[in-house]
Structure formats: C-alpha cells, structure tokens
Amino acid sequence: MKKIFSTLCMALVAVAMMGQDPVITFEKTEHDFGKIHEEDGRVSVDFAFKNEGMAPLVLSNVRASCGCTTPKWTKEPVEPGQTGVITVTYNPNGRPGRFQKTVTITSNAKEPTVKVYIKGEVIPKQAKPVNKFPVEVGVLGMKSLVLDLGTMKKGEVKRSELEYTNPTTSEHSVALATSALNSQYFASQVSLPNIKANEIGQFIFQLNSADTKLYGPVEIFAYVVIDGKKELDDAHKLLIKANIEEDFDAMTVEQKQLAPIIENDAEVNAGKIAADKSHKIIIPVKNAGVNPLEIRRAYSTDKALTIKTPKAIKSGKKGDITVNINTKGLERGNYSREVVIISNDYKQSVKRVKLNFVVE
C-alpha cells in the first residue's frame, strides 16, 4: 500500500512540475509581405508571442534560414502572462522573384523549438537607361575626354574619333583648337560644325608618326570650342595619346648582326645635391655593337629633370646622357627617379635607369 501511495505522489509531482514549464504562443506564425519593390530596401514584421506557462520564458536562439533574413528578439526572460516580440527583417536587394524564409526559435518552453515563416515577391529594380555620353563639355555630352591610339609602329598613320552629342534643344557651333607645334604630324576635324538637338557628331583625329621625330609616349591636347568661345581649360580639354615604337620587323639577318648594342648601368647614384640649385648628372652609354647607336629619346615623368641626349655613338665608343636636376622646391631627403632611354638597339630599344640622389 505504501509503495502504491509513493508511486502516486511521484506522478502527481511530475505532473505539477510539467505544469510549471513556460509555454510560448504566437498571435501568428506566418507573414506574407506581398509584392515589395527591390529599390525600397528592407522590410520588417513583428511576431508577437506570449508566455502562457507558469515559469519565465527565455529565448536562447533565433536563427533564420539564410543571410538575407535578420531576426531580433526579446533577450530578457518573459514572465508568465507577459509578452515579447521577434522582429524579422528581409533584405530584397539583388533577390528578385518570390521568396519564402523560415525562422527557427529555440527556448526553454515546453515545446523547445518552434518556427515562423515569411514570404513575398520582390519586384526587381527598373534598369535605368544608359547614358552613352556621361562627360559634360560645356553644353555638349561626350563618352570620354581621352582618345588612346595605342601603340604605333614608326611610319604608321592612325585615325580615330571621339563622339559628341547635343543634349540641348538649341543648335550650337562646334570647333577644335590645337597647337600649331603638332600640325606637321597631327590633324583634327569636326564632322558636325553646327550640331542640332540630339544629333551625334565626331571629333576626328589623325596622327602620322612618320612626320614626327618623337618616339615613345606622345600626348597631344585639343580644346573644344563651342559657339565661338575659346576656353583653354581642363573642362574643354581633350587628350589624344599614342606610343610610337621603331619598326624592326623588316630588318634582315645581316642588319641584325651589324646592329648597335646599348650598354649602360641600371642604376646611377648622384650622391648629395644642394637644395634650390641645379645639378648635372651624367648617365654614360656605350655602343657595344657595330652600326652607330642613336638615342631616339630619353625622358622622365618628373618635370624637375631636363634631359639631353648625345649624337650618334660609334662602335665601341661612349656617349653621355646629361640629366639636369632642378632641386628648387624639393624638400631635403632621399630621391629616386626613373629615366627611360629609347634607342635603335632592336633587342632592347627601351631601357630604364634608376637615378638616386640626396637633396641637402
């Protein structure tokens, strides 16, 4: 009899303890956002819940089924009879079409794992019309202010164009202003000198590398003149550039055997130089080949360096490339600059010399 009574008491205690567990209940477990627009950004919904049990309810984790869905929830214990909330946010960016996501809630409730759901349809962003002429030059629109003709073999002629348009409702006159210094090898033309609304014209440029002594990178500037107003500023400036290389393709085997060979140090240390003064540095060059070595060009991107090249260097002889460094305006310290040498050595027509000096 005592044994039966003891078993009955234990069962009653277990039932009583079960009745003291927290119980989580939701007003709703699913939300339909309907149609949402991608450009409007994130959307959120609150899932309110109540603890209908007899002990405090604690949410230990709330996890979404993908990274596009972010949950936030009540972190404090929810007392019996009290309410809490789980806020679920969905990010539609880059996710056009229908969606359905699951949020899993883990707690100390009698039912430790429950789920809520969101769904909807993302209306994708409307593609904006592409502006083919995004660069403003006065009242005109252009695709770019730079025309790169690329690499040209010496003697080659290249012709290319930059398009422009008139986005206004009025007619405008268009012309180009270029330097007379380039006129012997560079020509420009305007296809529509008078351009009406929404018309498309072309600035046509031609470079004849045979008519110039230049080798290596070449930059030419042209200025857009609108309605007769010549404004020589960056807002109206076009850059036409190319890289001119010597054409060694037609060389015979005999010519290659007799070709010049350039020899020079890869690095020249000029030592200490006084501030606010000019200083000359010599880069010695030797011709280890047979035919005369011609330095086509020597240059640096540093405007503080002025470079002079020697005349043709005979076989076995040396010549000097003279670099004049103007230290005016330079702060005291160590400097390293690159000098590019272009020659008629077909194997190594472009060589680079590192120039080191200290301004005191």
127 pLDDT tier (thresholds 50, 70, 90): confident
Q: What percent of the chain has pLDDT over 70?
A: 94
DSSP code string of 292-348: PB-EEEEE-S-TTEEEE--SPBPTT-EEEEEEEEE-TTPPSEEEEEEEEEEES-SS-
Which residues are CB-neighbours of 51 under 8 A, at least 6 positions away?
22, 23, 24, 57, 78, 79, 80, 81, 82, 83, 84, 109
Q: Given the DSSP bridges, would you call strands 318-326 and 157-165 parallel, antiparallel or unpaired?
A: unpaired
Count, in order, helices (H) and strands (E) of the chain.
Answer: 2, 26
> How crowded is residue 244: how many other Cβ atoms within 10 Å of its Cβ?
26
For 50-108, write each residue's pLDDT tens digit. 999 999 999 999 999 988 999 999 999 999 999 999 999 999 999 999 999 999 999 99
19 pLDDT tier (thresholds 50, 70, 90): low
Handedness of CA 186, 191, 194, 198 (dihedral sign): negative
For 154-202, write each residue's pLDDT tens digit. 999 999 999 999 999 999 999 999 998 899 999 999 999 999 999 999 9
